[in-house]
């Protein structure tokens, strides 16, 4: 896949992850989600669901000067591209990295014939307005304290 350029984050590019990115992507996820861990506690059912779909998921990474600073997994689910685990290293947040990843996800979704991006987030993380800024719309609310609490579509 051709990397997409990131406008004002000029040293950053988004590309499909390679096997050698696995450790860096895991670290990005760990550090990013540590910032919301006090309000985000996936239950065992959520982990089981994720494990079940994990082998079918693909991954994007965002690089800044050769360092992996953001990542997201995705997979086709019905007519949507399901977005999972969008994460940006804390020190690289608020610079448009997530926006660049979502931009690339939208391009991938279109290429795969999907009509929308879809994700779940937890209200208490404060991410609902962030995803709204990223172009998502809230379509329903569910139970809190699970990663399936708040679907949104792009
Ligand atoms: C959510 C997250 C991925 C956003 O990444 P990011 O690279 O900082 O986001 P961007 O810089 O692309 O910002 C996207 C938009 O959201 C806004 N935004 C980002 N963080 C925000 C915050 N904490 N408060 C308010 N607005 C915020 C930005 O201003 C921007 O909108 P604008 O371009 O209209 O100004 C990042 O904060 C993160 O990794 N959080 C921890 C993990 C997590 O909760 N992931 C979501 C799982 S569902």
**pLDDT single digits (tens) 14-24:** 999 999 999 99
* In a domain? residue 84: yes
Domain of residue 15: give its range: 4-114
**pLDDT single digits (tens) 30-87:** 999 999 988 877 788 878 888 888 899 999 999 999 999 999 999 999 999 999 999 9
Measured in Å, residue 22 CA sits from the centre of ligand 1 at 22
Nearest of 136, 15, 26 to residue 82 by alpha carbon: 136
Measured in Å, residue 80 CA sits from the centre of ligand 1 at 22
* In a domain? residue 59: yes
Residues 6+ apart with CB under 8 A from 28: 61, 68, 69, 70, 71, 87, 88, 89
Highest mean pLDDT among 27-31, 120-124, 126-130: 27-31
Number of domains composing the chain: 1
Q: Does the C-beta of 125 come closer than 6 Å to ligand 1?
A: yes
CATH number of the domain within which 78 lies: 3.40.630.30
Q: What is the number of the ligand 1 atom nearest to the C-alpha of 102? A: 12
């Amino acid at each position: 896949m051709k990397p997409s350029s990131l406008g004002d984050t000029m040293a950053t590019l988004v590309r499909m992850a390679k096997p050698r990115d696995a450790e860096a992507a895991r670290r990005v996820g760990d550090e990013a989600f540590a910032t919301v861990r006090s309000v985000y506690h996936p239950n065992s059912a959520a982990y089981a669901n994720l494990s079940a779909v994990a082998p079918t998921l693909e991954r994007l990474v965002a690089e800044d000067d050769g360092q992996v600073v953001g990542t997201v997994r995705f997979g086709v689910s019905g007519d949507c591209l399901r977005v999972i685990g969008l994460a940006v290293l804390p020190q690289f947040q608020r610079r448009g990295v997530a926006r660049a990843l979502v931009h690339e996800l939208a391009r991938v979704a279109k290429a795969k014939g999907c009509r929308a991006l879809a994700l779940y987030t937890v209200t208490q993380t404060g991410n609902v307005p962030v995803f709204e800024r990223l172009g998502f719309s809230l379509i329903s609310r569910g139970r809190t304290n699970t990663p399936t609490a708040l679907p949104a579509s792009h």
